[in-house]
A = this chain, B = another copy of it.
Amino acid sequence: MQKNLLLISNSSDPNNKYLGSHCEGLLKTTLADVEHVLFIPWAQPQGIPYNAYTALVRERFQELGKDLTSIHETNEILVALGKAQSIFIGGGNTFSLQSKLLNTFGAIPAIRKRVLQDGIPYIGSSAGINVVCPTIKTTNDMPIVLPHSFESLNFVPFQINPHYVEPEEGSKHKGETRADRINEFHATEDNEHRDLLVIGLYEMSSLVVKGKAMEVKGPLNSQGVVVFEQGKKPSRFPVDTDLSFLLRT
């Protein structure tokens, strides 16, 4: 089976609907052949309890005609992963998520087997796409929990920076811009992953990976991606661009 990934930059659409208009069509296509979603709530946005987070997410997937179980609702996590028809990792804090992934015995190899070997659909948004990269080093989140490693699920051979954004026009803020931070990732010798490509994924845009093909999708007014390669000028690609060549890096 081939990889089948839907990587969504941000979960809320312009009307603040959860997994709303910006990705609804992509969700339907990705989940066309499955009836059930296994949800991983470990990123816990704003520290909300897993039950509350799951209720929100379940309601949305039920609207889309899919049943959903959260991994925290089962005692047999590896059994649940082994039977999963599809997996969704939602947004929140990437460090919390990464710690739970690392500290849940067998979770990372089991998820990798289901997605990379068995080809079940994987959906991630925000923190849920930081963890599909080789490392979580291009997250925007605060490091509120210390994971013992920054290396993660490694479904794709590049880093993604979700919620990619340029400074608002006229901004006087003196902190680093997002592009500055990504340049720092590439320029700092102590970062042993500094040769990896980084894809800045604008809000409302998504990456769709099917086997060896990748495209950036989203509403026509979403901005697609900016690709940062070590030592080169960033390149922009609008929605509907074929980005398969980035999977071969």
Contacts and interface: CB of A to CB of B under 8 A. Distances in A.
A139 B149 contact: no
Interface in A191-249: 191, 194, 203
Given A10-B174, A47-B184, A203-B174, A142 B137 contact: yes
B142 A139 contact: yes
Nearest to A9: B174
Per assembly, the copies of the chain total 2
Contacts of A184: 45-47, 93, 142, 144
A71 B49 CA distance: 46
A17 to B, nearest CB: 11
Interface string A116-149: 0000000000100000000011111111111001
30 contacts: A44-B188, A45-B184, A46-B180, A46-B184, A47-B186, A47-B188, A47-B189, A48-B187, A96-B188, A136-B143, A137-B142, A138-B142, A139-B142, A140-B175, A140-B176, A141-B176, A142-B184, A142-B185, A143-B143, A143-B150, A144-B190, A145-B188, A145-B190, A163-B174, A163-B175, A168-B168, A168-B171, A173-B203, A174-B203, A175-B203
